[in-house]
Structure 1
Amino acid sequence: MDTAPPRDEARLTYRDATDADVDALVELIESAYRGESSRAGWTTEADILRGQRTDPDGVRDVITADGSRLLAVEREGELIACCQLEDRGEAAYFGMFAVRPGLQGGGLGRRIIAEAERVARASWGVSEMHMTVISVRDDLIAWYERRGYRRTGKMTPFPYGDERFGLPQRDDLQFELLVKELV
């Protein structure tokens, strides 16, 4: 069996995002989740939420907050993905995960989340990774379950009325906590 990494994996670089990356990160995140461009990938939220997914202030807050990192993932100098990591004591929080829509479905996300888990363990010595996912996103939750995350049934309300998080197209949105033990 060939144990060499896939060719694309060898070309990926991970770095902490900086203030200079904010506009490109907002564009990436928006393209992966909202609007017509998001339909090129499978992670779109366009049918359940309209409006923005994030904004420059939100991205900048993640970059500058204590105990927080926004990993920028590049291939040959091009920003193709990102994810947020936040130290929460025993656990790290994983969020703001975006992969350029045309690159989704080829294993890139799986490699990035594995690297994010490795970085969280190495940086903070955490034993768990936490994330929240909109509970009606069955395909996305199933994808995370295949990566070892488990549903907890713990729900938090969607911030209806706060347009910074989008314009809901249905009234049953809430976030479910998913958890993975990091060993």
Structure 2
Amino acid sequence: MFSNIAEFFSSGSNLVFFVFALFIIGGAIFMISFTKVVHMVVAVAFSFLSLAGLYVLLEAEFVAFVQILIYAGAISILMIFGIMMTKHGEDNGASSGRPLHNILLGIGILGLFGIIFYAIQTADFPAENVALAQDNTLEIGMRIFTDHVIPFELMSVLLTVAFIGAIVVAKREEE
């Protein structure tokens, strides 16, 4: 069972995958553990950037670029603007059940890790050779503007309506 682990770490790309996976999981855990909202946003942005690294490792450069632009950039900035525009009270009191919560959280994480580890080690993954596109950005563009042009246009209309609605709501609160 453990021979698969040595085989896994013998490849450099698998090692890089493991590091990015740890960064993603670490950012997610920090996000739910932090108490200050700005620190949570930074942890989420760290997870988004690590996920973009995984996309580069999978040779999906366009998806990685979009991940950085939209999630790590725009969504994180949007969250920070939302935090700056709202009022927050100081919450200095920590809950008294926090040590027990942390112990139970650690036991749950280790149990989940053990179950997932066992499932992956005993699973039989068939190896398939899939022909990859030479220029995946060109292929994505061709698919969007030929096969999926109607959903693409509907999504742009939906985003425009949401943007106009946000402006109307902001104007009402200002008055």
For the pair shown, the structure with the greater C-alpha radius of gyration is 2
Bigger RCO (CA 8 Å, 6+ sep): 1
TM-score normalised by structure 1 residue count: 0.22
TM-score normalised by structure 2 residue count: 0.23
Please identify which structure carries the higher strand content. 1
